[in-house]
A and B are shown apart, each in its own frame.
Chain A
Amino acid sequence: MTVSDIEPDETVDSRGAACPGPLMDLIGALRNAEDGAVVRLLSDNEQSLTDVPEWAEEAGNELLETEELEDHYAFYVRKT
């Protein structure tokens, strides 16, 4: 799967937020999402590169892709 194949149901823009803000924003979005929904998290915090995969694995959600863009990252997480 490539990023262009993924159609997120919701985008959470956490750029500029200090740690652990981006992860908590993602958790908040997935808390309210339907099973199978995909949330795209935008973060410019390096810590998200470890926080997001660790939490996704712990919670049993699926990190579909991590996209490195010019000045931030985009994480695509499916609620399972």
Chain B
Amino acid sequence: MTEHVVILGGGTGGTVLANDLAHRLEAELDAGDVRITLVNDDPDHVYKPVWLYVPFGQREPADGRRPLSDLVDDAVDRRIDRVTEVDTDSRRLRTRDGDAIEYDYLALATGSALAPEEIPGLAESGHDYYSESGATALREELLSFTEGHLVLSVIGTPHMCPAAPLEFVFMADDWFRERGLREDVEITYTYPIQRVHGNPHIAEWARPLMDDRDIEVETFFNAEEVDPDARTVTAMEGTELDYDLLVAIPPHRGVDLVAESGLGDRGWVDVDKHTLEAEAADRVYALGDTADTGVPNAGSVAHYQAGVVGRRIASEVRGRPATATYDGKTLCFIETGMDAASYVEFDYENPPSPAPPSQKLHWSKLAYNEAYWLTARGLL
């Protein structure tokens, strides 16, 4: 009997997992004992970290897109479609077109989507760099922005790449300074809790840098409403800020089918944070942003989790006990300007200790952004 592994989502987690399994189960695939299907609703794979650089005119959205057909092993069946239903009892999926797909093992790597409509006024007047269209629209504003108040407001958590809001204000500060405009541009950073980042160690490191660089900070700021005409953003806590350019990290959510299939809320699958198995169903895994593990929604996390899920599914297909576990490993480069960056690595047990910012780390980040395409192909 052929075992069918179905992966939903062709982002970092899904693509790395597909290639990992194609390599790991090569003999079983050749023998027809296993079939792997990757379902994605876009023929392209998108590497989202490129978007941080788009508003500053340094990269193009196309730099972060490549066809899945160039990245995914030919032994994997690629299906450009959208799954709209998951029935974990009968192990059957239903696609947008009404087709049924049966699975023996399912991996959900459906990722995050933006939900600016949850905050009145945000979609009309806020900008973001968490989408291709947002990053290009923000570029139009930022490149001609020479004076006024730039507000970066983190509204939704969890959100993709938790370091990116800090990176944006550090880069903006440096970028305006280099161009002799910093005295005419006020920068304010808002965050929902009492510090500038969810992780207390990163927050403790970042706050003095922000103070040194005259980046104003508003903590306990949970944006509740944006008034596009008055150009104000108001928080649940009662604070109101005027802005000339609002850059927001909008609320995030996952795909609806997660909640509809009883696997978790807001598109995040409740999982065992070590095995990445769904709590509500057998033979279902989640990885990357989709897995509610409490670790950052970052590409490195999806990459490491894909290796764990790949090893576990391979063991199960072979009838062996699955022993691979995820230890919370997370790795992030953090830009601290236009030519300097820091770096953190941490896991469930060991907190981050940000490295002193350096040009070498900045170039390491840019180099990895190029080398990423090897990661997607399962080679790095």
Contacts of B238 in A (CB 8 A): 59-60
The minimal Cβ–Cβ distance linking B223 to chain A, given in whole angstroms, is 10
User: Hey, what's the 0/1 contact readout for B178-208 against A, CB within 8 Å counting as 1?
Assistant: 0000000000000011100010100000000
**A30 touches which of B193, B220, B236 (Cβ 8 Å):** B236
Chain A residue with Cβ nearest B222: A27
Instruction: Please judge, given known A-B contacts A17-B294, A21-B294, A59-B220, whether A51 and B237 are in contact too, CB under 8 Å.
Output: no
Which A44-66 residues have a C-beta within 8 angstroms of B? 51, 54-55, 58-60
Give chain A's interface residue range (CB within 8 Å of chain B): 10 to 19
Contacts of A24 in B (CB 8 A): 157-158, 192-193
Are A55 and B294 closer than 8 Å at their CB atoms? no
A23 proximal to B (CB < 8 A): yes
The answer to the question of A18 belonging to the interface, with a C-beta cut-off of 8 Å to chain B, is yes
Contacts of A21 in B (CB 8 A): 158, 294
A80 vs B139: C-alpha distance in the bound complex, in angstroms? 40
What does the 1/0 interface line of A5-27 toward B look like (CB < 8 Å)? Answer: 00000000000111111011001
Cβ-defined contact, B193 with A55, below 8 A: yes
Number of A-B contacts (CB under 8 A): 42
Partner of A60, one of B193, B198, B237, B294: B237
Whether B220 and A55, one on each chain, are in contact in the complex, defined by CB atoms closer than 8 angstroms, is yes
**Neighbouring A residues of B237 by C-beta, 8 Å:** 58-60
Residues on A with C-beta less than 8 A from B54 are none
21 A-B pairs with C-beta separation under 8 A: A17-B294, A18-B295, A21-B294, A24-B158, A24-B192, A24-B193, A27-B192, A27-B236, A31-B222, A31-B224, A31-B236, A51-B194, A54-B194, A54-B220, A55-B193, A58-B194, A58-B220, A58-B237, A59-B237, A60-B237, A60-B238
